[in-house]
Chains A and B, each alone.
Chain A
Amino acid sequence: MTATAEKTDQTGGQDSPKAGVVPSFTVTLKISRFDPETDSEQHWETYEVTAHATDRVLDALHQIKWDQDGSLSFRRSCAHGVCGSDAMRINGKNRLACKTLIKDVNPDKPITVEPIKGLPVEKDLIVDMEPFFDAYREVMPFLITEGNEPTRERIQSQADRDRFDDTTKCILCAACTTSCPVFWNDGQYFGPAAIVNAHRFIFDSRDDGGTQRLEILNDKEGVWRCRTTFNCTDACPRGIEVTKAIQEVKRALLTSRF
C-alpha cells in the first residue's frame, strides 16, 4: 500500500512526503465584519490561516472562529451542502462556503468573504432572511388539490414527474435571490427562489393551485421583473437552471398552458 501511495503522491513537492499527506498552504481571508452594537457600517478584517488542499472555505472560517477570533459570526448547520445555511459572497460570487474548496478560489490572493447582498446584515456574515422567506410563503409552496381525496396514491407518470424535477432541488439558501441585480434594487421583487418554488408546483400534474400561483406571480413585482441576467443560474449551488424556470413561468402566463 505504501509503495503505490508513494508513487501516486505527486502533490507533496517536499523532500519525502509521507503517504496520504495533503499539502498545506497559508491563505489570507478578507472578511466583511459588522457588529450592530459597536459599528455603524461594515469593515474589512484580514485573517491568515493554514489550509489544506482538501479544505473548504467553511473550514477556514471555523479555524478563525475557533482559534483566532471567537466573535466572528456566520450561519452553518449541516456543513455539507444540504441545509443551505452558509450562502455567502466569496470572491464576489454567491456560493455555499461548505461546497467551495479554498484551492478552487485562487488562494494566492486574499479571499474576500461577504454576506449575501440585498438583505439586511444583522452581524458579520449573517443576514435577515425574513424578507426572503416572506416571498417564499407568498407563492404557497405546498400541494393544493381540488375535489375529493382519492382512496389511493396520486399517481404520476415519469414524464410528468420529470417536468418539474429541476426545481425540486432547491435548498432555500438564497444564493440566487441575492445574486439578482433586480432584487438588490427592489426588495419587493419575489426573487428567483420564490419563483423556482412556485414552478415546482405549477408544473406538478397533481397540483390544482397553478392558476392561483400564476396570478400571484403576474404581479408588477412578479416574474416580469426578471431581466434574464442569469446571475441566479450561475450562483445556484444545486445547479438548478433558475432563469429557465422563470422563463417557463413567464411563458405559462402568456400561453395559459402549464
Chain B
Amino acid sequence: MAQAANGTLYRGREGMWSWVAHRISGVLLFLFLFAHVLDTALVRVSPDAYNEVMEAYKNPIVGLGEAGLVAAVIFHALNGLRIIAVDFWAKGPKYQRQLFWAVVIGFVVLFAPFAIRHLTIVFTR
C-alpha cells in the first residue's frame, strides 16, 4: 500500500501543537533525569568526584541547557494542569484553546524573569 512519504504536515491547531510540545518536553525531562540521577549518585562514590562534575557544569553551554530545562519544566507543568482541566472539568474541552493561551502567558510570566537572571549570571561570571 502507498505510504504518505511525501504528504504534507497535518495542520492541527493549539491542541495538537501543545500535545507535541508536551511530548517533547516530557522526553527531554526524562533524559535529564537520567543524567541527574547519575551525577547526584556520584556523591556516594566520592564527594570530590561530585564536586568535580559540578564544576565541569559551570560553562555557558550547560547554562543554556539549564535554561532549556527550566523552560521544559514550566511548560510541562502548566500544560499538565491544562490536561487535568480538560480531563476532569466538564467545561475543559470547551475552553481548551483559552486554557492553552493561559499556559503560554503563564510560561512567559514565569520563564522571562528566570531567563534574564539566569543568563546574566551564566554569561557575566
A residues in contact (CB < 8 Å) with B:
32, 34, 36, 39, 41-44, 89, 91-93, 112, 114-115, 117, 120-121, 179, 181, 227-231, 233-234, 241, 243-244, 247, 250-251
Indicate if the CB atoms of A92 and B1 lie closer than 8 Å: no
In the complex with contacts A44-B6, A89-B8, A114-B4, A241-B94 CB distance below 8 A: yes
Chain B interface secondary structure, helix, strand, loop or mixed? loop
How many Å from the CB of A31 to the closest CB on chain B? 12
Indicate if the CB atoms of A92 and B2 lie closer than 8 Å: no
| B5 neighbours in A (Cβ, 8 Å) | 41-42
Q: Report the Cα distance A236→B75, complex, angstroms.
A: 29
| B3 neighbours in A (Cβ, 8 Å) | 41-42
Contact of B7 among A36, A39, A42 (CB under 8 A): A42
Indicate if the CB atoms of B93 and A89 lie closer than 8 Å: no
Indicate if the CB atoms of A92 and B10 lie closer than 8 Å: yes
| A243 neighbours in B (Cβ, 8 Å) | 15, 86, 93, 96
Indicate if the CB atoms of A114 and B94 lie closer than 8 Å: no
Interface size of B in residues (CB-CB distance below 8 Å):
26
Indicate if the CB atoms of A244 and B10 lie closer than 8 Å: no
| A112 neighbours in B (Cβ, 8 Å) | 8
Q: 17 A-B residue contacts at CB 8 Å?
A: A36-B2, A42-B5, A93-B10, A112-B8, A114-B8, A117-B7, A181-B12, A181-B19, A228-B83, A229-B12, A230-B12, A230-B15, A233-B93, A234-B15, A241-B93, A241-B94, A247-B86
Indicate if the CB atoms of A230 and B11 lie closer than 8 Å: no
In the complex with contacts A41-B3, A121-B2, A92-B8 CB distance below 8 A: yes
Indicate if the CB atoms of A244 and B11 lie closer than 8 Å: no
In the complex with contacts A39-B2, A117-B4, A228-B9 CB distance below 8 A: no
B16 at the interface (CB under 8 A from A): yes
Q: Report the Cα distance A229→B3, complex, angstroms.
A: 23
How many Å from the CB of A157 to the closest CB on chain B? 21
In the complex with contacts A121-B2, A243-B93, A247-B93, A228-B8 CB distance below 8 A: no
